[in-house]
Amino acid sequence: MRYISELHEGETISITYLCKNKQMLKTKAGKSYCSLALQDKTGILDAKIWEMSNAIENFEAMDFIHVDGQLTCFQGALQLNVRRIRRAQEGEYDPVDYIPTSKRDIKEMFGELLTYVNSIKNPYLSKLAKSFFVEDNEFQKAFMYHSAAKSVHHSFMGGLVEHTLGVTKLSDYLAMNYPFLNRDILVTAAMFHDIGKTVELSNFPENDYTDDGQLLGHIYIGTEMVGERIRSIPGFPHKLSAQLRHCILAHHGELEYGSPKKPATAEALALSFADNTDAKMQTVREVLENADEKQEWLGYNRFFESNIRRSEK
């Protein structure tokens, strides 16, 4: 397959892309046309259907479509003038080519996460963790193939498991080095802290905020998911439940970052540091990887409120 990042002006192409967006618009002169956003894992291509004809079959946004057309340059950017479109058949394309994906093996990361699930000694927390990560296939699948964000850090398939693993490992390190921490609460909270994102963001290839996500947010959603499951585990101690859910509610660390409570326990504090550290380390990694290797100063970054510099090797 030829990736969007490799296309040139003037080419005539016949390729399958994901149709991320489809809109009927009118020219100034009042003529209708159709504007599409085509996507693969390397980028997005603007396409126009100026004339509706038999060559344009039925399709919807989020379909994989096979397009024929010619590439021109409009206002400094590539534009595809579409001549033919048909829905692609399963088998004609590999969805993986259309979705940005973690560089690490997703199943391997999930496997590593399971070793943490299995390390929890408190029987109630252990049961809770297994009920999601081991026994709940639907959750497992959603969790493994989700991103941890729409854009910013970890916004690729597998991003959620990669970030969760990073936070869990760092939480485990903290539990070992600051022994007054309750490791079981901290590590369990780390594994669950972002599960609300499986609802806040839609699945790939869409990976966009859902209606529930925008109205309720992953912090509330994830805490409620855990609360509901706990109610199905007989004898789960009430205080343990409240403390675990507190860690999830408070993991953004500050009210102005969307946590309705500030961390009040040592574990909630530790989780908020682990989450922030992994998120920021990944953010700076993406800044460094996306810039030219020879560049020293990479430009102002609004997350870090600083111009970012690549260090000496």
Among positions 56-75, residues that touch a copy of itself (CB under 8 A) are 73
Ordered alpha helix ranges (H), 102-210: 106-118, 123-133, 137-144, 159-177, 183-192, 197-200
Position among 94, 111, 264, 295 found at the interface with a copy of itself (CB under 8 A): 264
Angstrom distance (rounded) from CA 197 to CA 87? 30
CB 18 within 8 A of CB 26: no
Which C-beta is closer to a copy of itself: that of 95 or that of 237? 237
Query: Which parts of 196-235 interact with a copy of itself (CB under 8 A)?
Result: 211-212, 214-217, 219-220, 223-224, 227-228
State which of positions 267-286 bind a copy of itself (CB under 8 A): 267, 269-270, 273, 276-277, 280-281, 284-285
How many C-beta neighbours within 10 Å does residue 134 have?
A: 12
Would you count residue 44 as binding a copy of itself (CB under 8 A)?
A: no
259 binds a copy of itself (CB under 8 A): yes
Pairing relationship of beta strands 43-49 and 32-40 according to DSSP bridges: antiparallel
Contact criterion met (CB below 8 Å) for 245 and 223? yes
Burial 285-305 (b: 16+ CB within 10 A, else e): eebeeeeeeeeeebeeeeeee
Using rule CB under 8 A, residue 266 touches a copy of itself = yes
| Residue 93 Cβ vs a copy of itself, minimum distance, rounded to whole Å | 26
Query: Near a copy of itself by CB under 8 A, which window of 12-20, 34-42, 109-117, 171-179?
Result: 171-179
Angstrom distance (rounded) from CA 176 to CA 269: 15
Of the ranges 25-33, 40-48, 54-62, 84-92, which one interacts with a copy of itself (CB under 8 A)? 25-33
* Residues 13, 80 contacting (CB under 8 angstroms): yes
Judged by beta carbon, residue 99 or residue 250, the one nearer a copy of itself is: 250
Query: Among the candidate windows 16-24, 62-70, 149-157, 258-266, which touches a copy of itself by CB under 8 A?
Result: 258-266
| Residue 246 lies near a copy of itself (rule: CB under 8 A) | yes
With binding defined as CB under 8 A, does residue 28 bind a copy of itself? yes
